[in-house]
């Protein structure tokens, strides 16, 4: 199903464009499964801990989240539901998904997710991605309360998106997009209220950009890396991709032996928040190390 992967001229990461704008999520999750994606498994555990502290500090009854570069809403699915990444992958291996129509997949997923919604957490989630079908899927199955297909590298947020951002408490993103698109990040934060949202991202090591840090700091946010060991993002697609990743990680000051040399991209969690909300991360319910993902988790 997938076309030959390409490498963006602006990134060392192989991209799989044809999986990101299908009418439903099957191709996307099967691609993630086949390539051994694990980033969300690790990062969402940290995002949940950060969200709990944010809710405590601000006394929120409903936390308003922006799922940035949301694609089909996997980060939202894991944050808002009693669900693991392994369970998501196992679901879309089922034979019934081979021949189902997009309408059938969305109906099944809507019922499935509704039964797994966390009762201890009230979230209002806005999905944002450049791929219209991915955002539409997230809206159709109930992952996103609002959804926008907009490219903030090209233009400022629409009036409707800006209205959502003005009430945003936290921005989350897995992968590296927030690091690689400082212009979009600046436009996001400029549309937010004076009390800026927390930003939690899990960039691939070597994709950190000083320009993104400068944008966050310019909006009054303190930036730090959470004290979690590097964790698997996904398996390298080729020897060339691995070589580029090692070169970029080393250029960013990372020791790659025993990390990227094992055959996988690795990531870390970065946190940005207002200085007066920079409580000690050591007080969070944050594990020093998150257990590796296994089928059935």
pTM of this structure:
0.91
CATH code, residues 18-277: 3.40.50.150
| Confidence at residue 3, expressed as pLDDT on a 0 to 100 scale | 29
| Confidence at residue 296, expressed as pLDDT on a 0 to 100 scale | 45
**DSSP per position, the chain:** -PPPPEE-TT-SSEE-GGGSSSSSSHHHHHHHHHTT--HHHHHHHHHHHHHHHHHHHHT-SSEEEEEET-TTTHHHHHHHBS--HHHHHHHHTSTHHHH--HHHHHHHHHHHHHTTB-SS--EEEEEEES-HHHHHHHHHTTS-SEEEE--TTTSPPPHHHHHHHTT--EEEEEESHHHH-HHHHHHHHHHS-SSPPEEEEEEBTT---HHHHHHHHHTTEEEEE-S---EEEEE-SSHHHHHHHHHHHHHTT---TTTGGGTEEEE--EEEEEGGG---GGGSS--SSPPPP-TT-
| Confidence at residue 136, expressed as pLDDT on a 0 to 100 scale | 97
Tell me the average confidence (pLDDT) per consecutive run of 10 residues in the chain, 297 residues long: 35 59 94 94 94 96 97 97 96 97 98 95 95 96 98 96 98 86 95 97 93 96 94 94 96 96 96 96 70 54
Residue spans per domain, the chain:
18-277
| Confidence at residue 180, expressed as pLDDT on a 0 to 100 scale | 80
């Amino acid at each position: 199903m997938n076309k030959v992967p390409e490498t963006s001229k602006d990134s060392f990461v192989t991209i799989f464009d044809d999986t990101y704008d299908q009418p439903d999520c099957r191709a996307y999750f099967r691609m993630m499964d086949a390539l051994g994606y694990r980033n969300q498994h690790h990062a969402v555990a940290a995002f949940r801990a950060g969200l709990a502290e944010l809710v405590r500090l601000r006394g929120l009854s409903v936390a308003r989240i922006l799922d940035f570069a949301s694609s089909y809403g996997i980060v939202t699915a894991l944050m808002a539901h009693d669900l693991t990444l392994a369970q998501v992958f196992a679901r879309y291996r089922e034979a019934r998904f081979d021949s189902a129509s997009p309408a059938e997949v969305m109906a099944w997923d809507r019922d499935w997710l509704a039964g797994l919604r966390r009762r201890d957490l009230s979230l209002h989630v806005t999905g944002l991605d450049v791929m219209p079908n991915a955002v539409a899927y997230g809206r159709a199955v109930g992952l996103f309360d609002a959804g926008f297909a907009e490219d903030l590298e090209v233009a400022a947020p629409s009036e409707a998106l800006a209205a959502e951002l003005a009430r945003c408490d936290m921005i989350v993103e897995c992968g590296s997009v927030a690091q690689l698109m400082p212009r979009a990040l600046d436009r996001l934060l400029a549309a937010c209220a004076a009390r800026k949202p927390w930003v939690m991202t899990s960039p691939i090591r070597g994709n950190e950009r000083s320009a993104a840090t400068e944008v966050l700091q310019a909006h009054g946010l303190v930036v730090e890396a959470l004290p979690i060991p590097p964790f698997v993002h996904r398996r390298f697609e080729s020897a060339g991709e691995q070589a580029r990743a090692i070169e970029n990680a080393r250029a960013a000051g990372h020791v790659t032996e025993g990390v990227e040399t094992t055959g996988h991209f690795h990531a870390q969690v970065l946190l940005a928040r207002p200085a007066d909300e920079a409580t000690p991360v050591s007080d969070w319910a944050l594990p020093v190390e998150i257990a590796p993902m296994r089928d059935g988790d």
